[in-house]
A = this chain, B = another copy of it.
Amino acid sequence: MIAVTRRAYFCAGHRYWRNDWSAEKNREVFGACANEHGHGHNYMLDVTLEGEVDAKTGMLINLSELDQVVQERIITRLDHRNLNMDVPELGDEIPTTEVLARFIFEQLDGAFSAGRLTRVRVFESNDLWAECRRD
């Protein structure tokens, strides 16, 4: 079994806050992530495809295609953006690393002409990441 993983980068702002909760409850559950004016992170994104290696090119997928899809579907939409306000699909969801991983998996699934998307990893920092894997 062969898999290839491509890493990409974006920076974004966010805040953890629920309007249907009191300020006290928001603070209790979300801690400093509930701070009024938000904050942000340098995110890293690892996209993993599995599949067959083309005997002619030695490639599972051409990286120029992989890069273009990730750029168009993810980076241009999230980079230098506010995740609470600039990503309508997230609706009222709290933009945690887990939620982002699932969102990005859904955006990328089915978008490649070769290989099969099996895993998306999103790193919020060096010390925290979430992954969404196909079962």
Instruction: Find out whether the CB atom of B11 lies under 8 angstroms from the CB atom of A125.
Output: yes
CA of A14 to CA of B41, assembled, Å: 11
CB distance from A34 to the nearest CB of B (A): 9
- Chain A's interface: helix, strand, loop or mixed, by majority? mixed
Instruction: Find out whether the CB atom of A102 lies under 8 angstroms from the CB atom of B38.
Output: no
CA of A7 to CA of B81, assembled, Å: 23
Copies of this chain present: 6
Instruction: Find out whether the CB atom of A131 lies under 8 angstroms from the CB atom of B58.
Output: no
CA of A96 to CA of B132, assembled, Å: 26
CA of A35 to CA of B55, assembled, Å: 21
Residues of B near A8 (CB, < 8 A) are 127
CA of A99 to CA of B57, assembled, Å: 10
A109-135: CB near B (< 8 Å → 1, else 0) gives: 000000000000000011111111111
Given A1-B134, A37-B84, A56-B94, 9 more contacts at CB 8 Å?
A1-B132, A3-B130, A4-B98, A5-B130, A11-B40, A35-B81, A40-B41, A57-B96, A58-B94
